[in-house]
Amino acid sequence: MSGPKPYYLTTPIYYVNDKPHIGHAYTTLACDVMARFKRLDGFDVRFLTGTDEHGQKVEKSAQAQGIEPQAFTDRVSANFRDLAQALNATTDDFIRTTEDRHRTACQALWQRLMAEGHIYLDSYAGWYAVRDEAFYAESELTKDPDGTRRAPSGAPVEWVEEPSYFFRLSAWQQPLLDLYARRPDFILPESRRNEVIRFVEGGLQDLSVSRTTFRWGVPVPGDDAHIMYVWLDALTNYITAIGYPDTDSDLFQRYWPAALHMVGKDILRFHTVYWPAFLMAAGIEPAQRVFAHGWWTNEGQKISKSLGNVIDPYELFETYGLDQVRYFMLREVPFGNDGDFAHRAIVGRINGELANELGNLGQRVLSMIAKNCNASVPTPGSLEPADHELLDAAAGALEAMRRAMDRQAFHEAIESVFTVIRQGNVYVDRQAPWVLRKSDPARMATVLYVLAEALRHVAILLQPVMPQAMGRLLDQLAVPEDRRTFADLGEAGRLVPETPLPKPEGVFPRYVEPENE
């Protein structure tokens, strides 16, 4: 395949029975950082998000509001599209499962599975959680003191008996285990991989993949009395968006299999058991990786509507700044672990790392250049070992970032750049350009040039995480907009001496607590 290497990544499609919250923002943000990083690294990226709009839960939510399901989903889907824009997410497509292209893809996949003998008609009797749109075995349930049975998620379950089509999931136990063994990084993090393997080793039952008790969904081809199970419908979105069922199309050939499905840990099973089984049964290669991230708590408490502590992403952006929130959420905890969104913690990151370490380095360097170098890029002289050390560290950060990003270890990727920032702050203190201004102006110019170059590297590397703030820092270094990719790092994009620089302005103000009225 000629041209840049393709990289297709997806968020889960978000369920439209409620408004977006911090969990939705987190997944989209992580994917956006990944997409931006890969684009800067020369990849041909396709980034998909969207909304899951079918199922009994949506039908009930629409009925409760006295409106048609389509009108309900139109309104709620728009909220998720708006959130992606508010996050400054660089999505290439936004898919809705109510679109014609998706119905076509779902029915084509169904017909393929049916033709291959993987789907059969029988009847279903078992426990079903409307909230999860999922079936559960008796052994998975717990009982409240009043006898109410609950799914592992806490959702109440109801006994369902109806005719149903079944997917022969039991036949895919060994092929799935073989897939996990053949591709150890298919499921990350490792703890989630082990969880899925244990589940599959425990034995798989055939999966009910149609319902007759509601109408809001994709009709089963040739049997309109049945609606396709919402998860078979929803998961198909990933191939709908690249042209399925036309598997010979340029889009499908280029981008499938997907490089990365990013999901929350609560929907891991659907993406690592059902989805690869559906695909393999249809003769389609599974995605290269499914990464399940953790959940956020709020000041140490589980987030729930009943506690009234649901975190509104828009309030966070308003309070702390968008780039600051983007930074905090990927810096604070190892991606894959659960994290706590605490006011004290985000203020600590903003004032400690962003203002004191990165912001202060930028402000000091640019202010000294403005004052002592005729407000233009200094002209360096010969470099000393300390200069090479800082420049080499700046140039070497990309490889460390690549290794971390390819494991979705965002916090490690960020730390590899902050190592350079801290080294820059030590270098400026040791070289003391404010002293050199009088004793050795030529050496001062060299030191300031080296610092400006280190800043250029830092700003280019941190663009995926904080695109607006790093764009402003690169503007202040007079780096042209077409010279801000990873290919421009090192010698290729060195700052040109005597280039005029704009007046320096702080990029990261300290967070100051609002005074009580």
pLDDT tens digits for range 318-336 = 999 999 999 999 999 889 8
pLDDT in tens, 388-441: 999 999 999 999 999 999 999 999 999 999 999 999 999 999 999 999 999 999
pLDDT number for residue 514: 87
Domain segments of the chain as ranges? 343-493
What lies within 8 Å, CB to CB, of 498 at 6+ separation is 376, 377, 379
pLDDT number for residue 517: 46
Q: Would you say 456 and 477 are in contact if contact means Cβ atoms under 8 Å apart?
A: yes
Residue 297, pLDDT > 90, answer no
Mean pLDDT calculated for residue range 119-148: 90
As a whole number of angstroms, the distance between CA 216 and CA 60 comes to 10
Mean pLDDT calculated for residue range 350-357: 97
Region 343-493: CATH code: 1.10.730.10
pLDDT number for residue 302: 80
pLDDT number for residue 516: 62
User: CB-hemisphere CA count at 13 Å for 447?
Assistant: 24
Mean pLDDT calculated for residue range 136-144: 91
Q: Is 161 helix (H, G, I), strand (E, B) or coil?
A: strand
What average pLDDT does the chain have? 95
As a whole number of angstroms, the distance between CA 396 and CA 416 comes to 9
Please give the helix or strand (H or E) that residue 385 lies within, else none: helix 385-405
Q: Give the residue from 268, 191, 305, 263 showing the smallest Cα distance to 23.
A: 263
pLDDT number for residue 1: 56
pTM: 0.93
Mean pLDDT calculated for residue range 171-194: 97
pLDDT number for residue 282: 98
Q: Would you say 312 and 325 are in contact if contact means Cβ atoms under 8 Å apart?
A: no
pLDDT in tens, 20-41: 888 899 999 999 999 999 999 9
pLDDT number for residue 332: 93
pLDDT number for residue 101: 98
Residue 303, pLDDT > 80, answer no
pLDDT in tens, 429-477: 999 999 999 999 999 999 999 999 999 999 999 999 999 999 999 999 9
